[in-house]
Structure 1
Amino acid sequence: MSWGAISRMGYVALHSTDPAQAVDHAQRILGLTETGRSGNAVFLSSAARLHHELVYLDAPKNAVGHFGLVASGLAGLDSVRRRVREAGLRIVAESPLLPGVADGFSFEGPEGFVYEIYVDMQTASYVPAPHRPERYGHINLHPQDATAYKDFLVDILDFKLCDVIGDGFGYFLRCNTEHHGIALISGRGWMHHHAWQVQSLVQLGELGDRLWESGSRLLMGPVRHGESGRNIAAYYVEPTGAVVELYADMRHIYDDDAPVNHMSTDSIDWATQWAKYDASEFRSHGIFPASETIASR
């Protein structure tokens, strides 16, 4: 269920200096399946069997290429396009940046992050990996001005505000019933992590085993988040430098008029109820938006 111009989170496109390594890691550790290639781009998906939920584009620098958001039909697509133009935001492309969708356009949002708004992604036919996630779920950004970024998500993209942390320190926003599709924590101006839904805590333990067997470790978790979703989560760092989260048991909000929840920065319960939270280490990973948008060739 959605109420506005955006119906759900779509995909993440990342620039990679070594896409072969990034794809191999996404398959072995995250459990995605490659669905196709198009020139400089490799497309991957989960048990959702979509044309793409994660894309790696061959590029000279690791970076965030752009984020895909699914519009609520052509009316939603037209609505966002109109608001973007009225706000004077820079249009990157009037047609889709990547294959696999029927229609879409892209624009540059705050702090250099590019968004593609689209409709009707193709499905893909394959047997998913045994340890695959169910679907792509959300992103966590660390913008320099979290309040301004929150206003953009609400005013231009119809996201609803769920939680506020401190006085402009953090915001959690949703585009459907899932607690958050985009989380904002004040920071350096980069994407901290992209997140994927799994079925249970068991799969988070299996993730830890896969990382250990590959010579790596979890960055944090498993943890139980507090009011910021109440989900169980585990995190690791992928080859591009971005953090990846696997999560289960995310809170859903079915009341469109649910009050905004306010949390204090004096407590870390919103981040973890199970373990200590080393913010300096956890927040030291991420990747910045690319200086140039690269379309699939």
Structure 2
Amino acid sequence: MDEPIFDIAHLGHVELLTDKPDESLDFFTRVLGLSESGREGESVFLRAFDDYEFHTLKLTAAPTTGMRHVGYRAASPQALARRVAAIEAMGCGIGWSDGDLGHGPAYRFHDPDGHVFEIYYETRRYVPPPEEKPALKNQAQRVPNRVIAPRRLDHLNLLATDVAAIRDFVPKALGSRVTEQIVLDDGTVGGCWFTVNNKSYDVAYTRDATGVRGRFHHVTYAVDQREHILQAADVFLENGVHIETGPHKHAVQQTFFLYVWEPAGNRVELANAGARLILAPDWQTVTWTQTERMKGQAWGLKTIESFHTHGTPPA
């Protein structure tokens, strides 16, 4: 077994594109309950109340939808240098950028399906204004007085045409471990879940049934309790938000979930913050078979067809 690599500290942020910027911003702030921390050009920077960084979602107006890039924070400047060297040796590097409002210089690269990643170390910690100062000093911001108030960014899911290639790539690039996977009867890898730390996963890849490369599946924010997800379902209903599936419990990774589409069509998930932890340093990948997955989610809810075909930008 290879020694675990912990050069990457955690998932940092996701940049989503929207062709309905006003409607999308209204969804993420007024409905979903994120807070705005800054603006630059065509982008609005958003965060959940206990995200310690300046932002975890960068919402950018564009002619299309989907994900422009995903950012990971390195564990140290030395760790960043090690990851850059490894990625350059793999031949998938794009190069350095100056960063943006939320962080310093970042090194960008692409995965085999064309999704763009960046790794950075220098970051801007969120400093709440006096009216948002929390009662507890170990919390980033006062809990917002909203029905839906996500605590933090949890994970994202990307679509890929060849998940097996991704399964080989991500551990080499980020030092991730594969915690769970789906292998179909013909040997095709249908899905793969990765972690860079002790959290059960920070990114997942699932097979795109349309055969289109580089598409986005969903971003997930975590709330504290299952009851908060049930309350959120009522809020989404009252605001005309398309509820795709849930509330229910996943079999893979066991998260309690609710999936909706924001006005531009990007998929968003709310999940419970009590995610499983991977404490074993020699964790063995859990493999689910096609027969097992055909049983549906943990309590029998069938996986809906749009989960395999709907992504952004549209196919």
**Structure 2-normalised TM-score?**
0.85
Q: Which amino acid aligns with 1:158?
A: G
Indicate the SS of the match to 1:165: strand
Task: Tell me the equivalent position of 1:212.
Answer: 237
Task: Please give the per-residue CA displacement for 1:39-96, whole angstroms capped at 9, x wherever unaligned.
Answer: 11100000125311011112121121100111111122111111121111141x4134
Task: Tell me the equivalent position of 1:84.
Answer: 87
5 Å matches for 1:1-297?
Answer: 3-47=5-49, 48-91=51-94, 93-124=95-126, 125=128, 126=132, 127-129=142-144, 130=146, 131-166=148-183, 167=187, 168-187=189-208, 188=211, 189=213, 190-226=215-251, 228-248=252-272, 249-268=274-293, 272-288=297-313
CA distance, structure 2, for counterparts of residue 269 and residue 229 of structure 1: 16
Indicate the SS of the match to 2:292: coil
Unaligned runs of 5+ in 2: 133-141
Indicate the SS of the match to 1:120: coil
Q: Which amino acid aligns with 1:255?
A: A
Unaligned runs of 5+ in 1: 290-297
Indicate the SS of the match to 2:117: strand
Cα distance, 1:271 vs structure 2: 5.5
Task: Please give the per-residue CA displacement for 1:219-253, whole angstroms capped at 9, x wherever unaligned.
Answer: 11111112x21111111111232211111132111
Count of matched residue positions in the alignment of Structure 1 and Structure 2: 286
Percent of aligned pairs with the same amino acid: 26
CA distance, structure 2, for counterparts of residue 28 and residue 68 of structure 1: 25
CA distance, structure 1, for counterparts of residue 230 and residue 242 of structure 2: 11
CA distance, structure 2, for counterparts of residue 159 and residue 35 of structure 1: 30
CA distance, structure 2, for counterparts of residue 83 and residue 68 of structure 1: 17
Tell me how large the CA RMSD over aligned residues is: 1.9
CA distance, structure 2, for counterparts of residue 85 and residue 288 of structure 1: 28
Larger radius of gyration: 2
4+ aligned runs moved over 4 Å, structure 1: none
